[in-house]
Structure 1
Amino acid sequence: MKKTQITIDIELDDNHVPEKMTWNAQDGGIEKEDTKATMISVWDDKKMEALRIDLWTKDMPVDQMKMFLHQILISLSSTYQRATGEEDVAAWMEEMAEEFAQKAAIRM
């Protein structure tokens, strides 16, 4: 069995706020790639709940955070469709993402 790692290195200021983040994905050829935000979700099947870590650097621009969240919503609809085969629900999720983009005034 092969193992691989994805890691995120976070530099914090004195108040424990992320100042700089880099990520590494050995199999993807990514090493110390800068990022301003990350969202990680894992499923705890014992507690039947999602656990999350949402981090962003203090210099992450709000307009980029809005775009980041919009793209996550779009990708969630795609993931939902692949996982369940429910195209109608996935399409509805994508419509919600587009409504979010309009309400958040995201310039695409």
Structure 2
Amino acid sequence: MTKSTISIDLHLDEDKIPQKIEWQASGSTADEMQEAKAVMLSLWDGKDKSALRIDLWTKDMMVDEMADFFYQTIFGMADTLQRSTHQEELAADMKNFAKEFYEKFREQQMKENKLR
């Protein structure tokens, strides 16, 4: 059996808000820590049948970047659902939701920008 490790380092300000997020994975081609602006980590507890989640983002994560992050995360979750359950219709529904979410976000951003 092979063991792999994923490390996430958080650099927090005095209010314990992430200023910097770095990560590294064993077996990766990157020798040094990689920087990220946000992380969403979900773990499934099979015993309790519940999801454990950690969602963090840095102060400099822009609103449009967060929308991109959510869009890509939802889209990726749809791919994972399809591969793991072969539920193609449900995966397609998730992808359609992701696209609608992104379009609505862009529309709201454009309205807000016009008001400024």
Q: TM-score if structure 2 supplies the norm length?
A: 0.88
Name the SS for the 1:104 alignment partner.
helix
Amino acid at match of 2:24: N
2:90 alignment counterpart: 89
For residues 23-82 of structure 1, the C-alpha deviation after alignment (integer angstroms, 9 at most, x for no partner) is 001211232111100000000011101100000001111110110000001001111100
Name the SS for the 1:89 alignment partner.
helix
Amino acid at match of 1:69: F
1:2 alignment counterpart: 2
Q: Which runs of 5+ in 1 are unaligned?
A: none
Name the SS for the 1:90 alignment partner.
helix
Higher helix proportion, which one?
2
Name the SS for the 1:28 alignment partner.
coil
Distance, in Å, in 1 between the alignment partners of 2:4 and 2:100 is 38
Structure index of larger Rg: 2
Distance, in Å, in 2 between the alignment partners of 1:10 and 1:80 is 29
Q: TM-score if structure 1 supplies the norm length?
A: 0.94
Identity of aligned residues (%): 44
Q: 1:98 deviation in Å?
A: 0.5
1:25 alignment counterpart: 25
Higher strand proportion, which one?
1
Q: How many residues align?
A: 107
Distance, in Å, in 1 between the alignment partners of 2:105 and 2:37 is 20
Map 1:1-108 to 2 at 5 A.
1-30=1-30, 31-105=32-106
| Structure 1 segments of 4+ aligned residues over 6 angstroms from their partners | none
